[in-house]
Structure 1
């Protein structure tokens, strides 16, 4: 496979679906002009995120969309010959989920429901129940959402399922306490970046991280979209403002090089990771 041009977006999205689709269409066109084949848009980019993380009953939340509904078909039509990943509120019938979908012009390629819920998010969404990779025209992808990446088991499950590229979409805000005036110095921004680099390095996979930018309700997002190579080095990033981080990687070659001497997946010792057995030193 030749080098793959990919991009992760930092951008501002809100409740108005038509405005969100206008922003998404502009970003997809910009990416296509730059020969990008895989584009990651943020968490909740269709309908916006929550107004706060305090379980605010006054917040009706984003509009729930069916994964096989007209809005996701519209996104797939915009994607065309590209592979596009985007966050949305999924209508699960008797429940709503904070979800991310992967589409191309052929339709839905994969869908993930956020498993780990921070602070008051469980007042608005039900939790997903697993992680799985899936094949796409640009390689095998595993998806997760925001707080999911704080748990090493999540990314490891995707890597063990053969994911070559991890895509994490977020609505990751700055710190709620002792907030830094300069987002570049914010401690939650530092955590966001550390998780991205660690998940790429420990699994030796390519990592795309998209995030909301700007403000929404009481939240101020840290941006910081990026592409990370399998050694944990950031090779493209947006900083805390809006933008598009673009990089070109020969993914299979990058994974082979990273895993040639020290293969983190190959050298695992699962038998040593369980509870201590009685009498074992």
Structure 2
């Protein structure tokens, strides 16, 4: 990395608890509130460290509360960038911070009939990348994945080189696929950002606690920090699920640096990101350097097709289509 970087700063994982919006008219009020959370985190923690990265959860702007693409597009989807990302940019420029937005439901005229689940990294210089969820949560989500679109030409796993390190993000279910997060790490990501809406019983509570296990594992196997913001909505706000929160920051050895108490509710947790220490460890280590020790040529099955490509080629994605493609993928696994 050639540019100068800030060797040590703080990151804030900011979880939200909003009523479920029925249409896009409710989004400006959510943005108002999250801008206020940014102010509180930056100013409130200033005696302890400089908060430079703020991460918000999946569905912070809008959740996929309708069963069809047509309804989502009509009532909740927006182009990205938009007036709301402009507001985040103004705040990022005012405070000198980087904001990983909660996700939007995105409509893009270049991909008619599709809705994406999209989060943006926004810094003082503007919108740095737009990430569209690759592994949508099947069968319930009818968003399009970049994988679903023939000829998709944009970066699927973008990263951004910034003064607070190389940053890369993936959304919720993406994190259950080590290959997805490894795509970010292999592009040099120092900080892996998780924008998530993880529900019970897989959240930050026993006996499963996939949330903590996966966040810590992705950190240590990629020798990178993880900043993970989870949805903190109560069951009455985002039914039919309850949302356990537990937003956290994990260091590059899988150590839990900070975590919100499990349970719904709006919370902010902060922890230091020591970029200089991370870079020194990556340079020094000859043991437990999993990125360097990969035997890539030995992974003969890694690129075998699984879930069918081109799901959005024949029109809007449906729940029934999701189920059918999953059955097809399972048959492929049986055939070997």
TM range (shorter): 0.7 to 0.9
Show the counterpart of 2:40.
30
| 1:265 Cα deviation from its structure 2 partner | 0.7
SS at match of 2:246: coil
Check 1:2–1:251 CA distance in 2 against 1; reply closer, same or farther (3 A cut).
Answer: closer
1:103 equivalent to 2:116? Answer no
> Structure 2: how far apart are the matches of 1:132 and 1:186?
34
**Is contact 1:3-1:250 (8 Å) kept?**
yes
> Structure 2: how far apart are the matches of 1:88 and 1:79?
18
Show the counterpart of 1:253.
277
Give the structure with the larger strand fraction: 1
Show the counterpart of 2:97.
82
Show the counterpart of 1:72.
85
| 1:133 Cα deviation from its structure 2 partner | 1.7
**Quick check: 89-98 or 222-231, which moved more?**
89-98
| 1:17 Cα deviation from its structure 2 partner | 1.0
1:7 equivalent to 2:17? Answer no
SS at match of 1:193: helix
Check 1:169–1:107 CA distance in 2 against 1; reply closer, same or farther (3 A cut).
Answer: same
> Structure 1: how far apart are the matches of 2:288 and 2:279?
11
Show the counterpart of 1:279.
none
**Quick check: 198-207 or 71-80, which moved more?**
71-80
**Who wins on radius of gyration, i.e. which is larger?**
2
> Structure 2: how far apart are the matches of 1:160 and 1:111?
18
> Structure 2: how far apart are the matches of 1:31 and 1:199?
26
Show the counterpart of 1:265.
291
> Structure 1: how far apart are the matches of 2:54 and 2:189?
16
1:127 equivalent to 2:145? Answer yes
Show the counterpart of 2:174.
148
Check 1:58–1:92 CA distance in 2 against 1; reply closer, same or farther (3 A cut).
Answer: closer
Instruction: Give the structure-2-normalised TM-score.
Output: 0.73
What does the per-residue CA deviation read over 1:198-219, in whole Å, with 9 as the maximum and x for residues that have no partner?
1001001000100110221212
| 1:119 Cα deviation from its structure 2 partner | 2.7
Note the 1:158-237 alignment, pairs <5 A: 158-175=184-201, 184-185=205-206, 187=208, 190-215=209-234, 216-237=238-259
| 1:4 Cα deviation from its structure 2 partner | 1.6
Show the counterpart of 1:50.
64
> Structure 1: how far apart are the matches of 2:272 and 2:246?
18
> Structure 2: how far apart are the matches of 1:101 and 1:57?
21
> Structure 1: how far apart are the matches of 2:217 and 2:243?
21
**Is contact 1:227-1:246 (8 Å) kept?**
yes
For the aligned residues, what is the CA RMSD?
2.4
Check 1:29–1:267 CA distance in 2 against 1; reply closer, same or farther (3 A cut).
Answer: same
| 1:135 Cα deviation from its structure 2 partner | 1.1
Check 1:191–1:8 CA distance in 2 against 1; reply closer, same or farther (3 A cut).
Answer: same
> Structure 1: how far apart are the matches of 2:170 and 2:229?
11
| 1:171 Cα deviation from its structure 2 partner | 1.1
What does the per-residue CA deviation read over 1:45-67, in whole Å, with 9 as the maximum and x for residues that have no partner?
12x22348xx4789748722222
**Is contact 2:88-2:122 (8 Å) kept?**
yes
> Structure 2: how far apart are the matches of 1:149 and 1:252?
26
Q: Identify unmatched segments of 5+ residues in structure 2.
A: 1-5, 148-155, 303-336
